[in-house]
């Protein structure tokens, strides 16, 4: 079947197998170009490993550090009529590349929040690897079924206390207008914390520790974002920010639990980037397209793979924590020489001057690339095997 992009709001409902494979291959090349990574982990579990930051973490660990990887994700396989989700094709391509490089890779498709998934992964670690020495927690999910109570929680992106009005970009049409987001109500905060907070991260580590599957010196990472003040009402001080605060609470709890093994838990604050998760946040895509323009001109623009390469190559052995103990991969984004022009442009930007001030083309092409479209060297007129399997899943 020939696969073309079908964009619906902020998602693309199709994905291109060869294009996703090329996207994975390009990321592998970025890591290999930096040469081998030394001092990093050798047996890595990535929870949320199929797209965005999790996929890039898996690639950096495997192809930089030669690590065996286990990846957990929630993706839809394709069938005769409908293409799979991008993360499915990414994972298929990752496994093929890993096998060709002689690297162990095994993937699990299902609900990472469930006890069943944890049991499946634990059985695989026992059978294949003995222990893991790094756990990456990179889930972005709109809902969670609690494994103990069966309660279903929904994560929302809302300000707290009062409504928030700011500029917003329709990334499909290039129209800059205004959006007003009503404040969180009822138990929105608690629900968002239940989905995107740290409870499940802790449950994963507890389950692994209980089975003695955590090697001495293990490090575990969960990802967060802070960003500039203009986004704080919807991000840092909003419902999602409360969930990220909860990650920091759990990071301290996990530090205590890992200390007897000489292990360490980290929250890594990463750069704002186009991913399936970030494109759903109001206001943020306009900020990202203004940011890309300035950072590309500055020569410091990074994508998920460069960020995760930096995490494993530099910060794994030299974390350089901030004053509250977080790793800051958003350091370049937050430099005054980047933020000042971005914020100045934020106040000036309109539909009319969008092309001059913002990297809307970069935003749109990054978005399409997430689904395997617009990659160089891919024949988009060729017949695609949309029902392809992820080798370890079948
Ligand atoms: P993403 O949407 O690209 O990836 C989410 C991953 O989670 C995918 O692998 C998906 O399959 C998996 N997933 C979702 N629900 C699942 C479930 N129930 N069970 C198993 N797997 C599930 O998102 P991303 O942007 O890479 O976000 C990853 C983390 O990075 C999040 O914590 C996010 O807040 C953080 N972060 C993102 C940005 C950004 O700008 N994108 C910046 C800083 C931090």
Distance of CA 15 to the CA centre of its chain: 18
Residue 336 domain-assigned (yes or no) = no
For this structure, is 287 an active site residue?
no
Which percentage of the chain shows pLDDT scores above 90?
96
Structure tokens of 9? 């709001």
Residue 278 domain-assigned (yes or no) = no
**How many whole angstroms from 352 Cα to the centroid of ligand 1?**
33
Q: For ligand 1, say whether the CB of 197 is within 6 Å of any of its atoms.
A: no
**How many distinct structural domains can be found in the chain?**
1
Ligand 1 pocket test, pick from 20, 53, 116 with the greatest ligand atom count within 8 Å of Cβ, gives: 53
In this structure, how many other beta carbons lie within 10 angstroms of the beta carbon of residue 389?
A: 14
User: For the chain, how are helix, strand and coil distributed in percent, rounded to 5?
Assistant: 40, 15, 40
* Three-state SS at 341: helix
Specify the residue with its C-alpha closest to ligand 1, atom 38.
272
Helix axes 115-124, 199-210, angle to 10 degrees: 40
Residue 113 domain-assigned (yes or no) = yes
Which CATH number characterizes residue 68's domain?
Answer: 3.40.50.720
Report the pLDDT value the prediction gives residue 175, as an integer from 0 to 100.
94
Report the pLDDT value the prediction gives residue 227, as an integer from 0 to 100.
97
Report the pLDDT value the prediction gives residue 12, as an integer from 0 to 100.
94
Q: For ligand 1, say whether the CB of 140 is within 6 Å of any of its atoms.
A: yes
Residue 44: is its pLDDT beyond 90? yes
Residue 10: is its pLDDT beyond 90? no
**How many whole angstroms from 85 Cα to the centroid of ligand 1?**
14
**How many whole angstroms from 342 Cα to the centroid of ligand 1?**
25
* pTM (two decimals): 0.98
Higher-pLDDT residue of 354, 171 = 354
Report the pLDDT value the prediction gives residue 240, as an integer from 0 to 100.
97
* Three-state SS at 17: helix
Q: Which of the four pLDDT bands, split at 50, 70 and 90, describes residue 386?
A: very high
Report the pLDDT value the prediction gives residue 172, as an integer from 0 to 100.
86
Specify the residue with its C-alpha closest to ligand 1, atom 31.
140
Tell which atom from ligand 1 comes closest to the C-alpha of 53: 26
Give 370-384 pLDDT, tens digit per residue.
999 999 999 999 999
Average pLDDT over residues 157-168: 96
> What's the CA dihedral at 355, 305, 125, 119 to 10 degrees?
-10
Mean per-residue pLDDT over the chain, rounded: 97
Report the pLDDT value the prediction gives residue 111, as an integer from 0 to 100.
98
**How many whole angstroms from 348 Cα to the centroid of ligand 1?**
31
Average pLDDT over residues 118-133: 98
Which percentage of the chain shows pLDDT scores above 70?
100
Burial 306-345 (b: 16+ CB within 10 A, else e): bbbbbbbbebbeebeeeeeebbbbbebbeeeebbebbeeb
Structure tokens of 274? 């186009």
**How many whole angstroms from 382 Cα to the centroid of ligand 1?**
30
Average pLDDT over residues 192-198: 98
Residue 284 domain-assigned (yes or no) = no
Residue 45 domain-assigned (yes or no) = yes
Catalytic: which of 235, 287, 292, 363?
Answer: 235
Tell which atom from ligand 1 comes closest to the C-alpha of 288: 40
Report the pLDDT value the prediction gives residue 341, as an integer from 0 to 100.
98
Residue 317 domain-assigned (yes or no) = yes
Dihedrals phi, psi of 47, to nearest 5 degrees? -100, 110
Give 62-89 pLDDT, tens digit per residue.
999 999 999 999 999 999 999 999 999 9
Residue 77 domain-assigned (yes or no) = yes
In this structure, how many other beta carbons lie within 10 angstroms of the beta carbon of residue 102?
A: 7
What is the DSSP annotation of 288-311?
Answer: HHHHHHHHHHHT----HHHHHHHI
Give 343-364 pLDDT, tens digit per residue.
999 999 999 999 999 999 999 9
Is residue 56 within 8 Å of residue 64, measured between CB atoms? no
State which residues form the domain around 108.
7-160+187-273+302-330
Report the pLDDT value the prediction gives residue 282, as an integer from 0 to 100.
87
Average pLDDT over residues 96-101: 98
Residue 47 domain-assigned (yes or no) = yes
Structure tokens of 362? 């970069």
Report the pLDDT value the prediction gives residue 280, as an integer from 0 to 100.
85
Ligand 1 pocket test, pick from 49, 138, 303 with the greatest ligand atom count within 8 Å of Cβ, gives: 138
Q: What is the DSSP letter of 347?
A: H
Q: For ligand 1, say whether the CB of 137 is within 6 Å of any of its atoms.
A: no
Report the pLDDT value the prediction gives residue 179, as an integer from 0 to 100.
93
Pairing state between β 214-224 and 264-269: parallel
Spatial CA neighbour of 56 closest among 289, 292, 302, 367: 302
Specify the residue with its C-alpha closest to ligand 1, atom 34.
224
Helix axes 52-59, 17-33, angle to 10 degrees: 50
Q: For ligand 1, say whether the CB of 367 is within 6 Å of any of its atoms.
A: no
Q: For ligand 1, say whether the CB of 88 is within 6 Å of any of its atoms.
A: no
Report the pLDDT value the prediction gives residue 238, as an integer from 0 to 100.
97
Residue 158: is its pLDDT beyond 90? yes
N residues, the chain: 394
Structure tokens of 354? 């969008």
Say if residue 384 is exposed, middle or buried (CB neighbours under 10 Å; 0-12, 13-18, 19+): buried
Nearest-angstrom CA–CA distance, 346 and 287: 7
């Amino acid at each position: 079947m020939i696969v073309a992009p079908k964009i619906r709001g902020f998602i693309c409902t199709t994905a291109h197998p060869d294009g996703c494979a090329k996207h994975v291959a390009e990321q592998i090349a970025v890591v290999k170009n930096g040469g081998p990574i030394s001092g990093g982990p050798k047996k890595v579990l990535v929870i949320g490993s199929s797209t965005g930051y999790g996929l890039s973490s898996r690639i950096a660990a495997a192809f930089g550090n030669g690590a065996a990887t286990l990846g957990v994700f929630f993706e839809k396989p394709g069938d005769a009529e409908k293409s799979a989700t991008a993360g499915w094709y990414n994972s298929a391509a990752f496994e093929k590349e890993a096998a060709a490089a002689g690297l162990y890779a095994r993937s699990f498709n299902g609900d990472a929040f469930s006890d069943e998934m944890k049991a499946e992964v634990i059985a695989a670690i026992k059978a294949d690897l003995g222990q893991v020495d790094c756990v990456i927690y990179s889930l972005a999910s709109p809902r969670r079924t609690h494994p103990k109570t069966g309660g279903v929680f929904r994560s929302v992106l809302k300000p707290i206390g009062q409504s928030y009005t700011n500029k917003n970009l329709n990334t499909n049409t290039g129209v800059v207008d205004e959006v007003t987001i009503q404040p969180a109500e009822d138990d929105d905060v608690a629900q968002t914390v239940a989905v995107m907070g740290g409870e499940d991260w802790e449950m994963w580590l507890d389950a692994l520790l209980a089975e003695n599957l955590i090697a001495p010196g293990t490090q575990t990472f969960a990802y967060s974002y802070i960003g500039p003040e203009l986004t704080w009402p919807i991000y840092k001080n909003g419902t999602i920010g409360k969930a990220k605060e909860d990650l920091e609470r759990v990071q301290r709890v996990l530090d205590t639990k890992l200390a007897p093994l000489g292990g360490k838990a980290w929250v890594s604050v990463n750069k704002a980037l186009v991913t399936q998760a970030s494109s759903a946040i109001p206001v943020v895509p306009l900020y990202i397209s203004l940011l890309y323009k300035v950072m590309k001109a500055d020569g410091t623009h990074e994508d998920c793979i460069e960020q995760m390469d930096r995490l494993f190559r530099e910060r794994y052995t030299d974390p350089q924590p901030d004053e509250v103990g977080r790793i800051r991969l958003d350091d370049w984004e937050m430099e005054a020489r980047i933020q000042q022009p971005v914020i100045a442009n934020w106040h000036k930007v309109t539909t009319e001057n969008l092309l001059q001030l913002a990297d809307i083309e970069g935003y749109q092409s990054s978005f399409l690339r997430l689904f395997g479209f617009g990659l160089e060297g891919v024949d988009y007129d060729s017949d695609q095997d949309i029902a392809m399997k992820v080798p370890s899943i079948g």
